Structure 1
Amino acid sequence: MGSLAEWYQSIPTPDDLTRVESLFANIQAQFPQLKLEFKWNQPMFTDHGTFIMGFNPSKKHLAVAIEPQTMTHFIPQIDKAGYDHSQIIRFPWHKPLDEQLIHDLIAYTIDQKKDATTFWQR
């Protein structure tokens, strides 16, 4: 898979694709400074060359990757929302997507990495 268009084709159903396209459009509207890039076979949002959030679909969920420090900070909210997580957060296709949680994750990461000079948080 070498492009965003090919990645979109890997999304299980047309309804799921619509949800992802809507999510990406909302992220870009709320955070216009973020750049949607395609690296390591997945789309991700970056800010001034530093990682903010990445995405990977599976049959049952949309996996969302965030920095470990962000994950640690948000575990109570993620648990309260009922999402399964490890190093990623799993947003099941059959449940409504908590876009406020995603917004909060992004806003927090942007703030934490405002002075970052590396791709990954140290």
Structure 2
Amino acid sequence: MENYRDYLQAIDNVDHRLKVESVLQWVCDTFPQLDTKIAWKQPMFTHQGTFIIAFSIAKHHMSVAPERVTINRFSDEIVQSGYDHTKELVRIKWEKPVDYSLLERMIAFNIKDKEGYTAFWRK
């Protein structure tokens, strides 16, 4: 979480900051094998040098970016959780609760699916 301190402090809205901090801490606690860093101005988690998931903020939502393959695989569950998504990210509106079970399945899928993967992004 140390890598994310400056990012979190820059979030002006206290409620948004606390929500993002809670999600990032949960990922760190649930997947301690993941590495943390800021890249492309957003908190990112990697595993053995490959991208797993990233988070960012917007005015009306927190964005979750697990890569297109993962969004395609979990599209129905994303919608069932009350979120919308594009090809590259999931939008969790600030007033919506975080579906940690869905996040856990998406992250676990990426870790397993990218095991032994040598590139940062999927090709």
TM-score normalised over the length of structure 2? 0.90
Contact kept? 2:34, 2:46, Cα under 8 Å = yes
Structure 2: distance between partners of 1:10 and 1:78: 28
Contact kept? 1:61, 1:91, Cα under 8 Å = yes
104-113 or 7-16, which deviates more: 7-16
Moved over 4 A (4+): none
Counterpart in 2 of 1:38?
38
Identity of aligned residues (%): 38
Amino acid across the alignment from 1:35: D
CA, structure 1 residues 63+54, in 2 after alignment: closer, same or farther (shift >3 Å)? same
TM-score normalised over the length of structure 1? 0.91
Counterpart in 2 of 1:91?
92
Contact kept? 1:50, 1:113, Cα under 8 Å = yes
Counterpart in 1 of 2:47?
47
5-14 or 57-66, which deviates more: 5-14
Greater RCO (CA < 8 Å, at least 6 residues apart): 1
Structure 2: distance between partners of 1:112 and 1:98: 21
Contact kept? 2:54, 2:65, Cα under 8 Å = yes
3-12 or 45-54, which deviates more: 3-12
Contact kept? 2:67, 2:89, Cα under 8 Å = no
Query: Equivalent residues in 2 for 1:1-122 (5 A)?
Result: 4-86=4-86, 87-122=88-123
SS at match of 1:37: strand
Structure 2, gaps ≥5 residues long = none
Structure 2: distance between partners of 1:32 and 1:6: 21
Structure 2: distance between partners of 1:112 and 1:73: 12
Structure 1, gaps ≥5 residues long = none
User: Shift of residue 12 of structure 1?
Assistant: 4.6
Task: Give the paired residue count.
Answer: 120
Structure 1: distance between partners of 2:94 and 2:8: 15
Cα deviation 1:63-97 (Å, max 9, x = unaligned): 11111111110001011112110021000111111
